[in-house]
Amino acid sequence: MGDNSEQHNNKVRKPRDLVIPDLRNETEREYQYSKRPYQRDYLRGTEWDREERKKDTTRDTVSQNKQKSRKSNASSAKSRNRKNIKTTEKQPQKKITKSRRKDRKKTTSKIILAVACICAIIIGNIAGRWNAQLDQVLNQRKKGGVDLQEVKVDESTLNQDSNIINILLVGADKRESWTEAGRSDCTMIATIDKKHKCLKLTSLMRDMYIDIPNHGKDKFNAAYSYGGISLLYQTIAYNFDLHLDGYIIVDFAAFKEVVRKLGGVKVNLTDAEANYLIKAYKKGPEAKVKPGLHKMNARQVLAYVRIRQDAAADFGRTQRQRNVMQAILTEVKTKSITEIMDLTGNLMKYVTTDLSNDEIYSYVKSVVMMGTTTLEQKRIPVDNSFKEERMGTQLVLVPDLTTNKQELQEFLFEYPEESSTNSQKKAD
């Protein structure tokens, strides 16, 4: 009995041999199996146990760091909010230092410069295409056979200014059936005064009795019928010492086309003018007018500018011609720059000129950019500077050339107010 119990105790106390498997070379399934909780006792102290502990500690460290960062971010956000609240309460607005202002100005100027460069490129491309199209249209115009710069005049005696452009405008009294040049029914000088930023228009009256080179004394409008635009320029240069930069000739058909392209112009008719048109033209469209300001069509406007049967005679006619030129400028100024250039291209087909494409483009641009819609006006001869005389069957105006030459020079090359002041002082 005793022996048996002793043997039993010995069996219980005898430690059991533990065999710890080396799973490092085993399959993934066996490795996963070894990670089960009840297997960890067998792995404790082995290489596998150390690797697992490292992984666990790494995970714990990462999670702890994440929690700490969240807490720190939350606390910093709260502190920032508290600071912002305090600063807004105590200091409503921070003072901007000079250096910060300079930096802002530099940044703003850079942005403006970049935008300006982009706009310049776009505008340049549009202007290039625009100029090409305008050149095609202008090349169809009637080029004058005479270039004023080649006409023989004594340039040493002529007054001129590079910033003041004087263009000779000729309204030729020529019907389509005529073969000769016709008479200069209307002669004006259109001035683009870039120096004083204004536009001027001067009428040279057709009945002035003056010297026409190589033809003796005659009425002023005879110069055009004797020798065309060349002799007309020589006559102006000889009598008024004036250099002209170019010319434009418009006959009756071209004048009507100009007004037609504009859709008519607004003219203020007096009672006498309206009555004359109604009686003279009877049933035509020229007779369908009324006193007051209203838009007139091409035929009505042509009839209006040719009236000389009223008490003012040719003085009234030149005034009406300037009125229509003012009305045309006013109508043109209502158009956009694109419409104006297109209109210029279309109208130039109906006129004769010695101006180049570049000159036309430059002059139109100057007129548009000047912004004014007012024409400063003058008439030569001026009041109290001429005598009315009869030469044979003709009634003519014999001008005081010294006075009128001075009046014309001052008006064209000075600011209008200055020229009128100087004239008044001399008269006093």
**How many whole angstroms separate alpha carbon 40 and alpha carbon 33?**
10
What is the residue-averaged pLDDT of the chain?
Answer: 77
Q: Classify domain 143-427 at the CATH topology level.
A: Aminopeptidase (3.40.630)
pLDDT-derived band of residue 170, with 50, 70 and 90 as boundaries? very high
> Of 247, 268, 250, which is closest to residue 259 (Cα–Cα)?
250
**How many whole angstroms separate alpha carbon 308 and alpha carbon 324?**
15
pTM here is 0.67
Which tens digit of pLDDT belongs to each residue from 300-349?
999 999 888 777 788 999 999 999 999 999 988 888 877 887 787 777 77
> Of 322, 268, 334, which is closest to residue 296 (Cα–Cα)?
268
Contact yes or no for 235/220 (Cβ under 8 A): yes
Residue 159, number of CB atoms within 10 A of its CB: 15
Q: What is the pLDDT of residue 89?
A: 47
DSSP summary character for residue 159: B
Residue 208, number of CB atoms within 10 A of its CB: 22
**How many whole angstroms separate alpha carbon 192 and alpha carbon 368?**
11
Burial of 319 (0-12, 13-18, 19+ CB in 10 A): middle
If one compares 242 and 348, the residue with the highest pLDDT of the two is 242
Task: Delimit the domains of the chain by residue range.
Answer: 22-87, 143-427
> Of 310, 307, 284, which is closest to residue 297 (Cα–Cα)?
284
> What are the backbone dihedrals phi and psi of residue 85, each rounded to the nearest 5 degrees, phi first?
-65, -45
Which tens digit of pLDDT belongs to each residue from 46-86?
555 555 555 555 555 656 666 666 666 666 655 655 555 54
